Chain A
Amino acid sequence: MDSRITQFDELAGADGRTRAPYRKLSQWLAETPPELLASRREQAELLFRRIGITFAVYGAQEATERLIPFDILPRILARSEWATLEKGLIQRVTALNAFLADIYGAGEILRAGIVPADLVYRNPAYCPDMAGRRVPFDIYVHIAGVDIVRTDDQGFFVLEDNARTPSGVSYMLENREVMMRLFPELFALHRVAPIENYPDELLGTLRSVAPPRANGDPTVVLMTPGQYNSAFYEHSFLADKLGVELVEGRDLFVRDDVVYMRTTEGPRRVDVIYRRIDDDFLDPLCFRPDSALGVAGLMGAYQAGNVTLANAVGAGAADDKAMYTYMPDIIKFYLGEAPLLQNVPTFRCREQEALAYVLDHLDELVVKEVNGSGGYGMLVGPHATRAQIEEFRAKLKAHPQNFIAQPTLALSTCPIAMASGVAPRHVDLRPFVLQGANGARVVPGGLTRVAMTEKSLVVNSSQGGGTKDTWVIDDAWSAEEAMGQA
């Protein structure tokens, strides 16, 4: 796992022979004139702009609504590859959930000395108000986004768990719709597993965790911070697909520990809130008193069991980058199984020995803030200037516990279509895992994020990364061939 290993391209493979899942695409690309690709790229841009799929980038004044670059070539996984991934994802999210139920309950894993107690209790995302309380059906993580990378065709690594309010699923769904409009001929060539049932699965998941007094017909709403939030498009898109009201804090109020929304017909009871707003802003009486986005008394209603919040308050305690390093142990502790998806080897800078190594190898490592997200607050050693490295060295020495470090991974690449032709770019994958009282599931695929600049490893959309449609296709080629490729 060091940066010298040869780069793995998902189309070309390690040996330059086209990998089986990409064989048809590769042939199609060879036969397709560049003008056709160019015109499809233009059409795609037009479609996205018209539908209004935009993303707000913080700090970019002139471009408050920007399109996320979309690449028209699909990223392809074989069903057999997906099957491994799917099992691993469900295993991981099940363990995350068991861990949360434990740290807000009996705390067995802490007493067993597997995870240091201070790492949990001093974690800013740990919510003391939730300690000793049970949430409906003991489910904390209803929707998880797990970031996956690969470096060869052997297996997958988990880069990050997102157990708070992971975003991006609207791009997964819209990318597919746009691709189906642009490339009907490619869909005819491949048998692509559908993902359009995601909103139904999500609604089913949310309904399954409603409080009992909803009597089987719960009112579900999606709560957004409002139209100036960077993911507002996704919020309105999902509410529409789910067929539920898109509410802001000011649309809700709490009376006698019951949540209501203000409608033209008077107050209407709310049972399940899929909230796309952070814990801190949920309830000004309980968290930040200056929050105008939340609802006074919401936590009271939640703790009284009259409303279900998805994801649960305090779920973020499981997904920070320090906890990540303990995930293999967490999986073993709760499930008695070996992890199916590997962690990227990670140095915990809070540990003396690790810190010393990290400080010595800053130019080779990726250093991340434990509580950072969206690609902010991170150092990519091999691409950083001397000054940036020194700046991070100072930060590390001052607060080592706030950082982890990982080797710079040779992330796999996929072809993208640019004005100048087809070229490989680094990618990752965010599948979305749902967990309800009715079980856990993943729709086949996820959001592939791609670093649009050559050699760049940063795929975050806030940093100029783009997206691609992700296909899981039947292994139509013969079994031996697949074996030969592996």
Chain B
Amino acid sequence: MLSRTADNLYWLARYMERADFLARAIQASRRLAALPKAYGGDETEWESVLLSSGAALSFDASGRPVDEANVIEFLTFAPENPGSIRNCLEQARANARAVRTALTIEMWESINDAYLEMRALESRGVVPCAQELARFLEVIKQTSLTYDGGAYRTMLRNDAYWFSRVGLFIERADNTARLLDVKYHVLLPEKEIVGGSLDYFQWSAILRAVSAHTAYHWVYRTSMKPWLVADLLILRPEMPRSLISCYESIVRNLDNLARAHGRQGSSQRHARGVYGKLEKLNMESVFQGGLHEFVQSFISENNRLAALISEQYLF
């Protein structure tokens, strides 16, 4: 397959996954910020959303005050924020258009439909009201489901599929890790207070952002404990957004590529290394070494993998 096509597919998957994560993170934060102060509802929540979505610097540069309306607008519709949902969607569509031949019609239509809907909303030239915004976020989530489902159900299992999956899981791992990084202070074990905690709603917001709120209860069958929230997002293989689950998928898809191309390379070795470390890890040692330090080092290992893939497959 053309290297440019592979590159396009890889980034297309990343943009779609990022748009989905942003939509979920915004929804979870809105819920949290709407709570009374005593329950953790706080304007600082919007700062942490900016941080976990990697948009804090460009937001600062815009000089706007940090409040709910500004942050949501910036993350959703702002053309000047390169990582806004609208820009992710626009980029995704541009990539999809360039590689139409590598996508199935279902995948293209799901992206194109969402794009047309966004254009219709934008073309009115007024700031969308809260209800329209909520609807738009739902559309984005729905789009990532139909896109992903379309890929899963209709794509040939060849390098186009594998590159696209690798992109998705690298982005997903990055998103989960950033979320953990911003919220690590509320997940430390010593923060636990018997008989309920102010941080309870923070934990549940984290889980909602990765749509794991119900999953938590099925896995642990106990009330919310911060270290278990961290465990779920890092080490539980059955949780589809955990770091270990992402890496299990990355290793599998990279192996498929290596088999098809008849060559194992540095990206396969690196991915296996990261996965192996996660498999041997337990939460005690993570907390001992420092959750923050662990997440930081994971993010840089994940970036390193992205660079190795580019190198190996001539992007």
Contacts and interface: CB of A to CB of B under 8 A. Distances in A.
A49 interface: yes
A474 B116 CA distance: 41
A216 to B, nearest CB: 23
A264 interface: yes
Interface of B: 1-6, 94, 97-98, 100-101, 105, 108-109, 112-113, 116, 159, 163, 257, 261, 313-314
B236 to A, nearest CB: 33
B159 A264 contact: yes
Interface string A253-264: 000000001111
Interface string A208-247: 0000000000000000001100001000110110000111
B261 A251 contact: no
Interface residues of A, number: 23
Interface string A32-52: 000000000000000001111
Given A52-B97, A239-B101, A246-B101, A262 B261 contact: no
A251 B97 contact: no
Nearest to A239: B101
A264 B113 contact: no
Given A50-B113, A239-B101, 11 more contacts: A49-B116, A51-B105, A227-B94, A236-B97, A251-B4, A261-B2, A264-B1, A264-B159, A264-B163, A264-B257, A264-B261
11 contacts: A227-B97, A236-B100, A240-B101, A245-B1, A245-B2, A246-B100, A248-B4, A251-B4, A264-B159, A264-B313, A264-B314
B93 to A, nearest CB: 9
A353 interface: no
Contacts of B112: 50, 52
Nearest to A221: B2
Contacts of A51: 105, 109
Contacts of B159: 264
Contacts of A250: 4
A118 interface: no
Contacts of A264: 1-3, 6, 159, 163, 257, 261, 313-314
Interface in A241-285: 245-248, 250-251, 261-266
Main secondary structure of the interface of A (DSSP, over half): mixed
Given A262-B314, A264-B314, A265-B261, A50 B2 contact: no
Contacts of B313: 264
B4 A50 contact: no
Of A227, A246, A264, most buried by chain B (CB within 10 Å of CB) is: A264
Contacts of B101: 236, 239-240, 245-246
A262 B109 contact: no
Of A237, A246, A266, most buried by chain B (CB within 10 Å of CB) is: A246
B108 A52 contact: yes
A263 to B, nearest CB: 6
Complex A-B, nearest 7 residue pairs according to Cβ-Cβ distance, in ascending order: A236-B100, A240-B101, A264-B313, A262-B3, A239-B101, A264-B6, A227-B98
Contacts of B105: 51
A240 B112 CA distance: 18
A100 B113 CA distance: 47
A480 B103 CA distance: 52
Contact of B97 (A232, A247, A248, A265): A232
A240 B100 contact: yes
Contacts of B113: 50
B94 to A, nearest CB: 7
A54 to B, nearest CB: 10
B2 to A, nearest CB: 5
Nearest to A245: B2
Nearest to A241: B101
